């Protein structure tokens, strides 16, 4: 006969699970800041000691209502860890636990108010509605929100990234050349690049750089075999061609939506055809923006 029966074994397993949960009960998740002097990992309590928690009310486009959060100013956070930031060519990279990676021009954090939220006012649980699936999602410990004033039903030009379950934040001095079109590329191709960075790089990689939810588009062969009509339909609404696709529709509330999708296609075709040296023949981000603005007569 064994020293203990199955009843005793079940009791031991139950006790071990209880002790394991107890060990992790007081453990807080951390957010990583990849600074010039190393990685700093801060818990929520440490964030509260370092930055002033603020109450911020904003219109959440996913839930279609005004919501109030408690959070820390991203402007204060950025300039606390990266005081010498050169905003002209910098991007703030925000990586999430699910593989989503947002790339946001650093200057936007100066022109628009944003916060790392950790709690919703009047909410027992830290959740929101996924704008794509319409399902309730857990926001994790840290959620980037923006002070925006969109009204219900109003067609918006662009929406900022609102990533949840944030894992880490770092500053990228310049996006890799392997993402960028050649200097000789058309205006529309360059606009396609800028739109891809904003809308698609969060989930897809280009030559190993980008989000990890979707495939690396330079490695994936399926879309390259399709014509532009098919590709347009897939970017527009993936589920119209593949009901099992987890890819979200191209943002519905955005201006010149048709033009943006077509320009992204031009950009992707340009990258596939390019066989040259990625070390040369690329504009810096600020240079490209200035050139495009001048060609459009913008200031």
Regarding whether 157 and 224 lie in a shared domain, the answer is: no
The whole-number pLDDT of residue 151 equals 53
Q: Write the CATH number for 204.
A: 1.10.760.10
pLDDT of residue 131: 67
Using CB atoms within 10 Å of the CB of residue 234, give its burial: 0 to 12 exposed, 13 to 18 middle, 19+ buried.
buried
| Residue 210 and residue 285 in one domain | yes
pLDDT, tens digit, for every residue of 161-194?
Answer: 899 999 999 999 889 999 999 999 999 999 999 9
Q: What does the alpha-carbon distance between residue 42 and residue 232 come to, in Å, rounded to a whole number?
A: 43
277 pLDDT above the threshold of 80: no
Of 172, 199, 229, the residue at which a domain comes to its end is 172
What's the CA gap between 89 and 173, in Å, rounded? 6
102 & 160 share domain: yes
The set of residues, in sequence order, having a beta carbon less than 8 Å from that of 166 and lying 6+ positions away, is: 31, 94, 95, 96, 97, 116, 140, 141, 142, 143, 144
Of 194-198, 208-212, 265-269, 284-288, the one with minimum mean pLDDT is: 284-288
pTM of the model: 0.80
Query: Which one of 172, 197, 225 terminates a domain?
Result: 172
CATH number of the domain residue 129 falls in: 3.90.420.10
The answer to the question of residue 11 being in a domain is: no
Range of the domain at 93: 30-172
Confidence band of 4 (pLDDT split at 50, 70, 90): very low
């Amino acid at each position: 006969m064994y020293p203990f029966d199955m009843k005793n074994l079940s009791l031991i397993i139950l006790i071990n699970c209880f002790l394991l949960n107890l060990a992790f009960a007081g453990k807080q998740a951390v957010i990583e800041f990849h600074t010039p002097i190393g990685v700093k990992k801060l818990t929520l309590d440490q964030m509260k000691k370092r930055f002033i928690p603020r109450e911020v009310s904003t219109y959440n486009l996913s839930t279609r209502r005004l919501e109030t959060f408690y959070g820390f100013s991203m402007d204060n956070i950025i300039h606390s860890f990266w005081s010498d930031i050169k905003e002209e060519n910098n991007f703030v990279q925000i990586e999430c636990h699910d593989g989503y990676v947002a790339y946001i021009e650093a200057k936007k954090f100066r022109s628009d108010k944003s916060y790392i939220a950790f709690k919703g006012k009047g909410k027992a649980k830290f959740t929101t509605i996924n704008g794509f699936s319409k399902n309730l999602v857990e926001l994790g410990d840290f959620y980037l929100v923006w002070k925006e004033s969109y009204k219900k039903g109003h067609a918006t030009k662009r929406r900022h990234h609102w990533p949840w379950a944030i894992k880490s934040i770092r500053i990228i001095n310049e996006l890799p050349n392997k993402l960028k079109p050649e200097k000789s590329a058309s205006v529309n191709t360059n606009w396609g690049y800028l739109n891809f960075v904003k809308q698609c790089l969060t989930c897809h990689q280009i030559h190993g750089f980008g989000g990890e939810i979707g495939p690396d588009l330079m490695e994936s062969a399926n879309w390259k075999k399709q014509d532009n009509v098919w590709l347009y339909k897939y970017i527009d609404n993936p589920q119209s061609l593949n009901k099992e696709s987890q890819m979200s529709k191209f943002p519905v509330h955005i201006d010149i939506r048709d033009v943006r999708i077509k320009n992204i296609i031009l950009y992707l075709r340009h990258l596939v055809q390019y066989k040259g040296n990625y070390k040369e023949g690329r504009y810096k981000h600020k240079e490209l923006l200035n050139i495009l603005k001048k060609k459009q007569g913008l200031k």
